[in-house]
Structure 1
Amino acid sequence: MSDAKPLSLPFTAVPAPHELDDLIERIVQKTLAQVGYADQANPFINSKACADLIGVSSEHLCAMRARGQGPPWSGEGKWIRYRRFDVISWLAQLPTTLQRDAKTATDN
């Protein structure tokens, strides 16, 4: 008979269902906080918060408004406000890198 030991796979711990639930809840809460859903008492955000949310400077956001680009906004001067939901929707509809690459490939 052979003295060879059977191959053993590395041990991987499988979390208990309640641990998975806790992990999922933490991930969801962190994600919602990052996209600005942590404070739902006020659905409106100012230019600084909008710029932070979309990852640009306040000055760049101002330039986007002047060119008629960027998320929908209302008001004027220091009273410009954005609806958080509108900003997130605007972000969601932006083309991804893969979509841009595919469009470029079909255009050539």
Structure 2
Amino acid sequence: MQITPAQSACIVSWAENIPFLKRVFLTGSRSRRAAHAASDIDLGLEFYNEESDEWLVHYINNRQAWTTELSGQCGFPVELHLWEPGQLVYDNGAADAKLLYFDSSSEK
């Protein structure tokens, strides 16, 4: 069980409104197709971070609210993890990650 098209659309819609957000990856059991009915949705978030730590402050200050918001909208518990290119900072599920969102408008 991955995620439904409605859940994917919900995540993309949310991501489009988050400052500094570059990419969102589906990780964990849902990206490996090993999820069961009660599995959470693990998301890796990659931010534009070349110029300052403002993105990190934004993530820290909003992570809990974003988790609550997405969990309600997606209908499943959501866990957010920081993503660095090639790996997750707080999870080791990078090998099976699936790209859900890419902010092409801000590509430098």
What TM-score range do you get, normalising by the shorter chain? under 0.3
Choose 1 or 2 for highest CA Rg.
1
Higher relative contact order (CA 8 A, sep 6+): 2
Point out the structure with the larger helix share.
1
TM-score by length of 1: 0.21
TM-score by length of 2: 0.21
